[in-house]
Amino acid sequence: MISYLPDSGAPLPHYVSTAPFDAHSVEAMTDEQNRVYKASQLRLMWWKFREHKLALASGIFLLCLYSSCWRPIICIPAMSTSSIRRRSPYICSTRGNSSGRSSMAGR
């Protein structure tokens, strides 16, 4: 068995450089490493999310569903008052009727 340690009691051989130490030369990062190192958490998550095509397609689908839910809320106030009056018996048919029956039932 080969031992790389000196005999017991003998000093360990080592080399000490006389050149000054420059910490930045050891940790020099490439431009790509520097870009990732300085990126925010949101940007890192977006980079990972963008790699998954199924997640992107699902996100677009959900965005379409959510936007279709808001469309009636935004469009109803834009309707003219005459069209709302025309449809008012069907919108709130129990107005003024304490029995709960439709106001159109007796007609």
Integer Cα distance of 95 and 99 in angstroms = 10
Integer Cα distance of 59 and 83 in angstroms = 36
Q: pLDDT tens digits for 2-60? A: 777 777 778 877 788 888 887 777 777 888 988 999 999 999 999 999 999 999 999 99
Residue at 70 is within a domain: yes
Residue at 91 is within a domain: no
Residue at 64 is within a domain: yes
Angle, vertex CA 44, rays to CA 43 and CA 45, nearest 5: 90
- Concatenating the DSSP letter of every residue in 33-68 gives HHHHHT--HHHHHHHHHHH-HHHHHHHHHHHHHHHH
Residue 86's pLDDT is what? 61
Residue at 62 is within a domain: yes
Residue at 103 is within a domain: no
Q: pLDDT tens digits for 68-102? A: 887 766 666 655 555 556 665 555 555 555 555 55
Q: How many domains does the chain have?
A: 1
Residue 94's pLDDT is what? 55
| Structural domain span for residue 67 | 36-86
Integer Cα distance of 107 and 105 in angstroms = 6
Residue at 23 is within a domain: no
Residue at 3 is within a domain: no
pTM: 0.39
Integer Cα distance of 5 and 106 in angstroms = 108
Residue at 28 is within a domain: no
